[in-house]
Amino acid sequence: MTLEAYADTIVPGEKRHPDDHAIAGVSEGPGSVEAGAIELLETEATGITAGLDFLVPMLNGHAKAYAEEHGRDLDPSLPEFVALSYEDRVQLILKLTKNGHPEKDGWVSLALFCNMAFDSAPHLSTAQALADGHPGLRAMGITTPDADGLWRFPNYSYGRKLAEVHPDTTPSGSPA
Amino acid sequence: MTSDKTEVLIVGSGFGGAIAAYHLAAGGAKVTVLERGPWLETKDFDHDFLLGSSYTRAFDFVVGDGMSVLGGNCVGGGSVVYFAAMPRAPRFVFERHGSIGRRMWPAEISRDTLDPWYDRVAEAIPVTQQDWNDVTYSGGLWAAACHHSGRTANPTPVAIDNAKCTNCNWMMGGCRFDAKRSMLTNYLPAAISHGATIRPLHEVQKIERTHDGGYRVHYNIVDDVDYRVHSESGVIEAKIVILAAGAGATPVILQRSEEALGKMPHGVGRYFSGNGERLNTAILNEDKVREVLGLSREDGLAYEANQIGKGPTVACWDRLDEKLPEYSRYSMEQLYFPPGLGTILAQVPGGDAPTWFGKEKKEILKRWRSWLTIFLMTEDDNEGVFGPPPPTGNAFRVSQQMLGRGALKYDPTPNTLSGWAKADAEVKEIMEKDGLATIAPWTNDVVGAYTVHPLASCRIGDDAATSALHPNHELRDHPGIFVTDGSAVPGALTVNPAMTIAALAERAVPGIVKAAQNRGIDVKYGAPSPDGSISGRRGVTKLALSLAGD
């Protein structure tokens, strides 16, 4: 649930049900969690899977300290980071990923993969992900490939001169 | 541990390695190339972001401290993952002073003396101009925006066979349609036909000297799927070693070899340049594209074509003006950058923190088809320095493929920051004129600055204090070791560097052949282009004799 809350702060989505605490529900349409962030983070090829067991308690520890510092009362039935509001989650992630933070590498890696779950879905074959309606790829408007799984765009150019060429262009087409 | 011998050992198979391999093999030398990445063929180049597809197998993303480097990792190296833009560097670049207060290029190299070598490359690859019918929607939009704000814009010279190109925009993971002219389509097959051997998945660890003045090169064999796994190791002895592992790896190999080889020149692992690169993401107003620029597609859309294309097709060269002061000259080029490691660095234009993640960022992701990326290549200050090398390779590898943490430190100077700011401001002026778009540069806060064109970490020069290599590319105080990749380029080029890296590699070959002859290797200089053409060879005949000292 803690990792879902982190992923939902990077690319937020709609709550899956009224009691959904991990997803803050600040954005319309599915976000990183529904795009498969947890599945991607648990894909061993990412290289961060083994570190998740350490990152989760660390994140909740930082959330607890943040809450104490800022006078927030947290729901004791939830992991501390999940109990934070979206705005507070944002502020904490900004602090953890700031230059000079000793744990920056770990939190940035986590953010990179949470974002990638939405924008490129590297835990799935892209053509299949599109065919299955992957929410991130679909939200971005990525088109489907040809029947052989390859993309081709026969129309690609406005097909006319659109600017004057620099006067100091050499016969090879390079700058002088 | 296996042990072997060759005459010329080349580390890396990108532009620098492939060009040297061809000429030396064609000249009669026994050539072996060690390449740390896999050997992928046309059928292996996937249109797929899936981890383990060619998109993650063929390139490397190394996060440093203040700078991240994206480079090739396969047979063909950077040429397999590059965007095939091949402009020559403008004349003033060779006169730059950079951080050393005087001309940083060797006295004997200028645009005039390099042009015959550029010609050789243009014939061999080959490099051609594009016309406006080749220019993609994104390039056309950039050209129209430049024109609308009173600027010029050029279709860029490229190494693409436009008749084969499908404008799929997957070229970063290798070209499935053989349209992109990588080293896999010219120098490497020609080298192989002359007997050169290429060994993929061989990652060089260090070099040591043999008792007879040659070199012994230690390598690990990398697992084909999980690059974190090294199964075996071995050594190979050679009379000549050519390092062409890329500007992010060549200095690391030399640093690791220092204990065995003796002290490295001061310039090894210093003066790294990120080619002053910046990426800006414009979010276009489709209505304004139609109204202000008068653009529309066959299907009635104004633009919405971010996914369509073939890398950069149009550049504005108005600021490549030799009369402008150093650090204020730059090119502005349209570029497609795929989702994945790049999208996260795009910021919400004009937004409050956070701008690289969060709910506002998601809103601009929904408008991804209306993105236009502008790539800025400025004059930086060669401020990158490599820290102690990791135990293997050039980074602590994090992911099975692609992602690693390196020891490069990059702290931009006020000169570099000023150049970045000027270029950012100009592209903002162009793209936001009359409400065409809103635009913001990629953030440097997440993984540092970002370069796809690492340069200058073992640079050539006349001065031992500020260069690692003699002007003939031989490592100072270590005769018989040459460097021919981007690390030899002295500084930022303000344009895409592949053409210059390749021209310098061509120029280095006659001297390497001479050094090989002096070490008893039966080799001659003078091969034609890989396809047998000879006009490029004719153009450099006198220069080659001079470089060989004849």
- ipTM score here? 0.97
Neighbours of B266 (CB within 10 A): 15
**Residue B234 phi/psi, 5° resolution?**
-165, 180
What's at B444, amino acid-wise? Answer: N
Question: CB of B156 within 8 Å of any CB in chain A?
Answer: yes
Mean pLDDT along residues B419-439: 98
pLDDT at A126 over 90: yes
AA identity, residue B43: K
Per-residue pLDDT tens digits for A138-147: 999 999 999 9
Note the pLDDT of residue B3.
72
Q: Which residues pair with B204 in a beta bridge?
A: B219
CB B410 within 8 A of CB B449: yes
B168 touching A, CB under 8 A? yes
**B130 vs A contacts (CB less than 8 Å):** 173
Give the per-residue pLDDT at B1: 66
pLDDT of B516 above 90: yes
> Any CB–CB contact under 8 A between B402 and chain A?
no
Regarding pTM above 0.95, the answer is: yes
Strands of B164-320 (E only): list them: 197-199, 202-209, 215-222, 230-238, 240-243, 277-284, 314-316
Q: Name the least confident of B36-45, B105-114, B338-347, B468-477.
A: B338-347
- pLDDT computed for residue B99 by the predictor: 84
Average pLDDT over residues B496-506: 98
- Residue B132 to residue A162, Cβ atoms within 8 A: yes
Both tokens of B126, joined, read 């080959």
Within 10 angstroms of residue B542's Cβ, the number of other Cβ atoms is 10
pLDDT digits (tens, 9 = 90+) for B261-306: 999 999 999 999 999 999 999 999 999 999 999 999 998 999 999 9
Q: Tell me, letter by letter, the H, E, C secondary structure of B64-91.
A: EECEEEEEECCCCCHHHHCCCECCCCCH
Q: Which of A108, A121, A163 sits opposite B143 (nearest CB)?
A: A163
> Looking up tokens 């005769």, which residue turns up?
B479
- Using DSSP's 3-state secondary structure scheme, residue B14 falls into coil
Question: In whole angstroms, what is the distance from residue B512 CA to residue B472 CA?
Answer: 8
Which residues 56-115 of chain B have a CB within 8 Å of chain A?
56, 63, 87-91
Sort out which chain B residues have CB atoms less than 8 A from A140's CB and list them: 339, 365-366, 368-369
Tell me which residue of B347, B354, B348 sits closest to B450, measured CA to CA. Answer: B347
- List, in sequence order, the alpha helices (H) in B194-346: 250-261, 286-293
* Contact between chains at A143 and B307 (C-beta distance less than 8 A): yes
B167 to chain A, any CB pair closer than 8 A? The answer is: yes
Residue with the larger pLDDT of the pair B314 and B548: B314
- Interval A27-55: pLDDT, tens: 999 999 999 999 999 999 999 999 999 99
Among B397, B401, B495, the residue with its CB nearest the CB of A175 is B495
Calpha distance B453→B121 (Å, rounded): 18
CB contact under 8 A, B362 and A127: no
